[in-house]
Amino acid sequence: MPELLLIYDKQCPFCDRYARLVRIRASVGELRLVDAREGGAVMDEVTAAGLDIDRGMVLKMGTRLYYGADAMQVLALLSTRSGCFNRFNYGLFRSKRVSALLYPLLRACRNLALKLMGRTRIDNLHLTDDGRF
């Protein structure tokens, strides 16, 4: 089974709650959560791929990277259907089109929450000078 890593911003309360609630089917493997703010080899890989972690979470399956809405959709398809959250997640994000439409709204909520909390961007691509939202 390929290694499954979810790289996300643990300081975002929405991202963290989602990551802790999503359950992957046992037949797929175990999902390991990675805090993007800690850096390391996997964040180096995300950055080398040109993926801005402030604009989307990353799901790594083996050597493949799924980003943003695609990561949400793949997670929904791999998830169990047990529990209210996982049934809701599957029902909502199994569609590529719906995931693509909703993900920008979720990202905007993340950005607003972090701004209100006084947190800085992760800025793995160094797009801004001061790291603020």
For the stretch 59-80, pLDDT in tens is: 999 999 999 999 999 999 999 9
Domain assignment present for 125: no
Domain assignment present for 29: yes
Domain assignment present for 73: yes
| 133 pLDDT higher than 50 | no
Domain assignment present for 122: no
Domain assignment present for 124: no
Q: Of 69, 73, 89, 82, which is closest to residue 17 (Cα–Cα)? A: 89
Q: Quick one: CA dihedral 111, 64, 7, 89, positive or negative?
A: positive
Domain assignment present for 131: no
Q: List the domain range (segments joined by +) for residue 39.
A: 4-116
Count of domains for the chain:
1
Whole-prediction pTM value?
Answer: 0.89
Domain assignment present for 90: yes
Domain assignment present for 10: yes
| 127 pLDDT higher than 80 | no
Averaged pLDDT score across all residues of the chain: 91
